[in-house]
Amino acid sequence: MQIVRCTRKQHAAAILDIFNEAIAHTTALYEYQLRTAGNIRTWFAHKEAGGFPVIGAEQAGVLVGFATYGTFRERAAYKYTVEHSVYVHKDHRGRGIGTALMRELIAAAREQQYHVLIGGIDLSNTSSAALHQRLGFTCTGTIHQVAYKFGRWLDLSFYQLILETPASPIDG
C-alpha cells in the first residue's frame, strides 16, 4: 500500500465510486442521492481552497481508500477544529487501510496546527468506532434518531481527538 496526496485529475473517479457505494449501501454517509462528477469537482475545489488534505491509499496504482477533513463550523472561534472522514473501498475493508489513512490525517492536522479532530460515526458502525478508539479518540456523545435512511432511524455518535497543537493559539 502506498499513501498519496489525492488530486482531482488522478483520483476523482475513484473517490466518486467509493462515496457512491457508501451512500447506496451503508450508513457511513447520511445521504440519499448519489454524487456526480460535478459534485466531486466542487468538493475538490473546496478542499483546495481551505488547504485541507485529501490523503489516499493506493494498491497497485488503484485508489482503495481516502481520508480528509474540512471545516467543522463556519464561526471563527472553531478555527482549530476540523471534522474528518475516512472511506475505504468495500473490497479492501478490514485490512488496516483505514488505520493507515487516519494516522496520516492526524499527522497532517498536527502539521497544520489544528487542535481537535471530530468524526461523526453512525452508532451501528462498530468497526469505525473501534478504529477511532484505537487511535485515541473518545466518544463525546450520541444524537439519537438524528437521520432516517434505509427505513430506520439512525443514531450519530461524535468522536474527538484532542491534539497538543497549536503551541500558541490566538483569538480572532
pLDDT tens, residue by residue, 147-169: 999 999 999 999 999 999 998 99
For 105, the grid coordinates are 490525517
- Distance, in Å, from the CA atom of 15 to the CA atom of 64, rounded to the nearest integer, reads 9
- What percent of the chain lies above the pLDDT cut of 70? 100
Q: Average the pLDDT over 126-149 and give the result.
A: 97
pLDDT score recorded for residue 172? 81
pLDDT score recorded for residue 27? 97
In a domain, 11, yes or no: yes
pLDDT score recorded for residue 48? 96
Q: Which of 108, 67, 60, 58 is nearest to 87 (CA)?
A: 67
- Distance, in Å, from the CA atom of 82 to the CA atom of 143, rounded to the nearest integer, reads 19
Alpha helices, H only, 26-153: 37-50, 97-111, 126-134
In a domain, 171, yes or no: no
Q: Average the pLDDT over 42-68 and give the result.
A: 97
In a domain, 48, yes or no: yes
Domain boundaries, position 95: 2-162
In a domain, 168, yes or no: no
Number of domains in the chain: 1
Q: Average the pLDDT over 91-119 and give the result.
A: 97
Q: Average the pLDDT over 32-57 and give the result.
A: 97
| 8 Å CB contact between 19 and 87 | yes
In a domain, 131, yes or no: yes
Residue 87 CB neighbour total at 10 angstroms:
23
pLDDT score recorded for residue 104? 98
- Distance, in Å, from the CA atom of 97 to the CA atom of 120, rounded to the nearest integer, reads 19
Q: Can you give the CATH number for the domain in which 34 is found? A: 3.40.630.30
In a domain, 169, yes or no: no
pLDDT score recorded for residue 78? 97
Mean of pLDDT over the chain: 97
Phi, psi (deg, nearest 5) at residue 115: -110, -35
In a domain, 167, yes or no: no
Q: Average the pLDDT over 100-121 and give the result.
A: 98
In a domain, 125, yes or no: yes
Helix (H, G, I), strand (E, B) or coil at 79: coil
- Distance, in Å, from the CA atom of 167 to the CA atom of 172, rounded to the nearest integer, reads 16
Q: Average the pLDDT over 87-91 and give the result.
A: 95
pTM above 0.85? yes
| 8 Å CB contact between 22 and 28 | yes
